[in-house]
């Protein structure tokens, strides 16, 4: 199985991504590393453990990482995710432990001990933890198989400012460090996730599972989509983070292009914007595989049928 570390700030959509990973025998989740993002770290690390227990995977190692971005104060998104970050389902307080080791140390140690080119980092939140790894141990960059991340947006615009997507906006310096690391990078931006809408019909399929994880998925999705439904009157909200895991499982659901992606961290109006050289206008290096489209029916089919295998 492909070895992955999930770096995350759960988050309802993060939760669905973690469930999808647990439900997929092709993936070996070496650990979950929490970062501050949607809500502060003290909540995201608890949420990561709640989800692990929900899936019956209390043996998972969960680590706490950075509690703030590299150079800026933390910005959170309770307006989307609720006070706990995981509002919606009624999940018990976790009884599995948080690991003592810092998330950044865990990632570094894992990259050193696993064979080079075998560990994939799946990043579902701000890129702070990963930037710390690359700053502290730059020699490890060539040992990372791939970084697959949800973040950014270009054709669709932003979701936290008109030009910036939340994960990148929270820590643009970290994002830029990752983009310049030379590690193979796959980006699943808003341009893609806005095609994966949680319509009533799609949520009904989770309800029909009649399982604990199916019911929790319904509660997570119904809470999460209310933000977009109320604000934009859409049928369902965009489901972001599970696209990272779905891409690993079924890349044929996605199309994109190798191109240059840079993050602006200098200008007020475009602060945190991912600038994508889709048309190859510059000769800047093609540092990322930027995904543009998803087969959304195929994506939800995968998500539902996999989560159906969980308790
Ligand atoms: C991203 O920001 C968070 O609110 C979501 O969990 C997702 O990772 C979408 O912009
Ligand atoms: Ca997230």
**Which residues, in sequence order, are CB contacts of 103 under 8 Å at separation 6+?**
7, 33, 34, 35, 63, 64, 65, 66, 129
**Residue of 150, 172, 188, 224 to test ligand 1 pocket, by largest number of atoms within 8 Å of CB:** 150
State how far the Cα of 125 lies from the Cα of 171, in Å rounded to an integer: 10
Report which ligand 1 atom has the smallest distance to the Cα of 12. Answer: 6
Q: How far is CA 67 from CA 29, 32, 35, 241, 275, in A?
A: 22, 15, 6, 20, 27
Pick from 191, 174, 199: which is nearest to 243 by CA?
191
Q: Which H or E element spans position 281?
A: none
Query: What is the per-residue pLDDT across 232-254, written as a single tens digit (0 to 9) for each?
Result: 877 889 999 999 999 999 999 99
For ligand 1, say whether the CB of 11 is within 6 Å of any of its atoms: yes
For ligand 1, say whether the CB of 77 is within 6 Å of any of its atoms: yes
The whole model's pTM is what?
0.98
Report which ligand 1 atom has the smallest distance to the Cα of 14. Answer: 6
Q: What is the pLDDT of residue 233?
A: 79
Pick from 227, 231, 220: which is nearest to 80 by CA?
227
Start-to-end CA distance of the chain, whole Å, equals: 21
Catalytic-labelled residue, pool 79, 81, 240, 258? 240
For ligand 1, say whether the CB of 196 is within 6 Å of any of its atoms: no
For ligand 1, say whether the CB of 238 is within 6 Å of any of its atoms: no
Query: What is the per-residue pLDDT across 169-203, written as a single tens digit (0 to 9) for each?
Result: 999 999 999 999 999 999 999 999 999 999 999 99
Structure tokens at 205: 């399929």
For ligand 1, say whether the CB of 191 is within 6 Å of any of its atoms: no
What mean pLDDT do residues 278-286 have? 98
* Residues 16/221, Cβ–Cβ less than 8 Å: yes
Triad 202, 152, 3: Cα angle to 5°:
70
Classified as helix, coil or strand, 181 is: coil
Work out the pLDDT band at 229, boundaries 50, 70, 90: confident
Query: What is the per-residue pLDDT across 65-100, written as a single tens digit (0 to 9) for each?
Result: 999 999 999 999 999 999 999 999 999 999 999 999
* ipTM associated with this complex: 0.99
State how far the Cα of 262 lies from the Cα of 254, in Å rounded to an integer: 22
Task: Compute and round to an integer the Cα radius of gyration of the chain.
Answer: 18
**Across the chain, what does the average pLDDT equal?**
97
Nearest-CA residue for ligand 1 atom 10 is 166
Catalytic site includes residue 81: no
Among all bound ligands, the one having the nearest atom to the CA of 150 is 1
């Amino acid at each position: 199985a492909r070895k992955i570390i999930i770096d995350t700030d759960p988050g309802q959509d993060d939760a669905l991504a973690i469930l999808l990973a647990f439900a997929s025998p092709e993936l070996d989740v070496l650990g979950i590393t929490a970062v501050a993002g949607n809500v502060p770290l003290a909540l995201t690390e608890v949420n990561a453990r709640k989800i692990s227990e929900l899936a019956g995977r209390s043996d998972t190692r969960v680590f706490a990482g950075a509690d703030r971005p590299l150079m800026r104060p933390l910005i959170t998104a309770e307006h989307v995710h609720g006070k706990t970050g995981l509002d919606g389902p009624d999940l018990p307080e976790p009884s599995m432990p948080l690991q003592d080791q810092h998330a950044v140390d865990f990632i570094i140690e894992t990259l050193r001990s696993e064979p080079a080119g075998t560990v994939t980092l799946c990043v579902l939140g701000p890129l702070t933890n990963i930037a710390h790894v690359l700053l502290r141990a730059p020699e490890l960059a060539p040992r990372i198989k791939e970084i697959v991340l949800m973040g950014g947006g270009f054709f669709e615009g932003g979701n936290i400012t008109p030009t910036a997507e939340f994960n990148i906006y929270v820590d643009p310096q970290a994002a830029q460090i990752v983009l310049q690391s030379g590690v193979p990078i796959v980006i699943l931006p808003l341009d893609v996730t806005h095609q994966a809408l949680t319509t009533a019909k799609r949520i009904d399929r989770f309800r029909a599972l009649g399982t604990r994880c199916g019911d929790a998925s319904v509660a997570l999705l119904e809470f999460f989509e209310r933000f977009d439904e109320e604000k934009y009157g859409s049928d369902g909200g965009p489901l972001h983070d599970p696209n990272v895991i779905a891409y690993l499982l079924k890349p044929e659901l996605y199309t994109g292009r190798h191109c240059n992606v840079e993050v602006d961290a200098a200008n007020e109006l475009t602060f945190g914007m991912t600038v994508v050289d889709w048309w190859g206008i510059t000769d800047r290096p093609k540092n990322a595989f930027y995904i543009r489209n998803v087969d959304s029916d195929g994506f939800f089919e995968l998500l539902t049928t996999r989560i159906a295998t969980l308790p």
